[in-house]
């Protein structure tokens, strides 16, 4: 903690700024900063799916999808359930899907604003 005297000579205690939560938030953000991972989360927000179904929807290799899912599982963004030889993935916390939806809404608003600027400029 930092201590200092104010102009009135009273002792003021200021807590040190704690960056730990922002470091953790940045780690999650880095994990989400890949288009394929965002696509997977968008698909999984409707419910759990096996890897084979995700491969069919996205159209990339199973090994590629499995690598991305493993990373998200390690960071607790998705969780798994195994039935026989199939592994089912789902979003670990619905707030993750909500956060992705909000960011997509912000992106759409920004794109709409840019379109308006271009439309007004070309008049």
Q: Which helix (H) or strand (E) holds 26?
A: helix 20-32
What CATH architecture does domain 2-121 belong to? Orthogonal Bundle (1.10)
> What is the pLDDT, as a whole number, of residue 118?
84
Residue 3 has pLDDT above 60, yes or no: no
Domain locations in the chain as residue ranges: 2-121
The residue among 79, 88, 74 whose CA lies nearest residue 28 is: 74
Place of tokens 């670990």: 92
Per the confidence metrics, is the pTM higher than 0.85? no
Average pLDDT of the chain to the nearest whole number: 89
Q: What is the percentage of the chain residues whose pLDDT exceeds 70? A: 85
């Amino acid at each position: 903690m930092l201590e200092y005297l104010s102009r009135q000579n009273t002792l003021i205690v200021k807590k040190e700024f704690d960056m730990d939560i922002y470091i953790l938030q940045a780690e999650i953000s880095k994990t989400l900063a890949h288009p394929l991972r965002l696509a997977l989360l968008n698909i999984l927000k409707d419910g759990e799916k096996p890897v084979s179904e995700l491969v069919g929807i996205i159209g990339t290799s199973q090994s590629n999808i499995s690598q991305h899912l493993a990373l998200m599982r390690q960071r607790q963004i998705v969780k798994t359930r195994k039935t026989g030889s199939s592994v089912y993935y789902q979003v670990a916390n619905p707030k993750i899907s909500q956060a992705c939806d909000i960011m997509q809404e912000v992106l759409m608003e920004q794109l709409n604003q840019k379109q308006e600027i271009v439309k007004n400029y070309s008049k």
